Structure formats: structure tokens, C-alpha cells
Amino acid sequence: MSQIINLVADIGGTNIRLGTFEHGAAVTALKVYQCGNYQSLSEVIRTYIDEENLAEKTINACLAIACPVENDLISMTNLPWTFSQKALKEELSLNKLLLINDYTAIAHAVPYLNKEQKVQIGGGEVVDGKPISICGPGTGLGVANVVPLAEGQWQALGGEGGHVDFAPIDQTEIKILEYLLNQYQHVSYEQLLSGLGLEQIYQALNHIEQAEQPILSAQDISEKALSNTCQLCEKTLAQFCKILGSFAGNLSLTLASFGGVYIAGGIVPRFIDYLKQSEFRSRFESKGRITFNQTIPTFVITESQPGILGASAYLRQHNLQNKG
């Protein structure tokens, strides 16, 4: 058999990141491609294979992708790409092809993050070998959990936790919910903990306070809040952090996540220092009669390529489980 190469990818709506690794080595030859420049996923991967001279090698591939992967036919949410997993494997002459959801990849990355790849918010200590929960405000609100298996291996538990009912815990949040219920039949946490969510909290507070401020984008809201140039924006970001703390605390209770609760996604890493000073951690810990979550640590993931890291961890584990 020719040399075995492990190929991993993190596929989003805008970019696709591809890299390779051998055995226990780190991912190398990492390249980023603009999805809009290609007609299909196979075209991008074929380009990478040709550029890295991999065509004559035995390729095992694990692709992390931001859409459901349970069926053979894959239709990407934010791209006009539809493909069959079986056909993709054959077209690219892959020895092995694994497709996993992007948050499954992040879940598999978390147990391997070092201190430089995460920032702790507040107190608590990790208990080794215990469940871990992840949530990620971004375009939406991704949620995943990962639980330990035997011999240092992990099992990711997927789901759609971002779509659970938003539960207000004070009068301001009750008013925010009432405002959003005038627009939606169902208000989930995703409608508050996302880019759109930041905008909707701003719009709700604007209405509640009759502030008559102009409509702003999520980026403008966060920038003005952090620069202290807009009081309503600062209130919005503060409220966002409170709600995030409540939601993360709910996750910690659901699975007794003594391995920690991790914040992923593209929004929160932009204001880690602000999050530290916010009510995020106090909301995380404030769960009435239940107090064990006060010992559970919370982290923000700062690793720039968690999808690649997770896809490589998943593929290594799969290779180990199927060795021989």
C-alpha cells in the first residue's frame, strides 16, 4: 500500500480549510480556499490534492461541515453545494471518508485544548474524565456535548440545543421576550445568543426604553459598546453576556459538565476582557438550590482552527478504533 495520509477539512459557508497529518503528528500544509470560487466541494478538495501532490497516496479524510450529515445526500445550508458522500469518496479515490457536523468537530477538539488555546472566565476547576459542554454564539447558536469513553477516547453528543425556549429570569428579560413574541411564535435562545440576537436585544431595549436610536448591525453594536460611545449598545452587550451566562449554566446542569463549559463561535472571543467583567459568571452560577455548578469552570475557546483540530482528533480516534 502507498503512504497513508490523513486529510482533514473544516467547511463553512465562506471558507474551506484543508490540512494533512501523519500518525500522531500535528496538522500541516494548512490552506484556506474561498468556497465561492469553486463549483463543488470535490473541486476544492481535488485542487488541494493536486497542489500537495497527494494523488498517488492512500488518503483517509474527515470533513467537518456546517450542516446535517446523517444521510448520504448532503445539502449545504449556506452554499449551493449538494453531493453524495459515497460519490464524493469514489470521485476523489479516497480510502476512507468521514463526514461530521462542525460542532461534533469542536466537541472533539475541546479535550485537547491547551492553556494557550482557551481563556478561563471565573473560578472552578476541570475534573478529568467528566462530561464537557460547548455552546457557540455565531451566525446561530451551536451546542454540543462530549463524554469520555474508555482509554482516553470521547463520544460527541449532538443536538439542537440552541433552539430550546428562551427563559427570562428578571423583569428586563421578560420585557425582551414580550417584544420578540410580537414578531415570533417561538423565541429560542438562538434568537438572542447570535449575531441576529445581539441586534434583537438592541432593538428590544431601544423599544423598552423608548430611546429612539438608529438600527445598528451586530458589529456596530459590539464596537460601540466596547468603545463606550453608545449607552444603549453597552446595555445590549451587558444583557447578551447575562443571557449567555444563564444558558451556559443550564448546560452545566443538564449534563453535570464537571469537565467544563466552553464558549465557541466567532462572537465572544472578540470581547473576552469585557466578558470577564460582566455578569456572565454570576449568572452561570445562580441556579437556586443547585450549587454544584459553582465549581464547574467556564472557558472561551481562542484556538483559531478548532474545526481542523477536532476533525483530526476524530479521525485519529476512528483510525485507532479500527486498527487492524
Query: According to the annotation, is 249 in a ligand binding site?
Result: no
**Sign of the torsion formed by the C-alpha atoms of 300, 137, 303 and 153:** positive
The DSSP secondary-structure symbol of 212 reads: -
C-alpha cell belonging to residue 150: 474508555
Of 146, 137, 226, 239, which is closest to residue 189 (Cα–Cα)?
Answer: 137
Query: According to the annotation, is 123 in a ligand binding site?
Result: no
Collapsing DSSP states into helix, strand and coil, what is residue 47? helix
Query: According to the annotation, is 14 in a ligand binding site?
Result: yes
Give 2's Cβ-side CA count (13 Å radius): 11
Query: According to the annotation, is 102 in a ligand binding site?
Result: no
CB 118 within 8 A of CB 299: yes
Residues 321, 148: Cα–Cα separation, whole Å: 15
Query: According to the annotation, is 129 in a ligand binding site?
Result: no
Query: According to the annotation, is 13 in a ligand binding site?
Result: yes
Report how far apart, in Å, the C-alpha atoms of 270 and of each of 12, 105, 147, 285 are.
19, 22, 28, 23
Residue positions forming the annotated binding site: 9-14
Residue positions forming the annotated binding site for ATP: 9-14
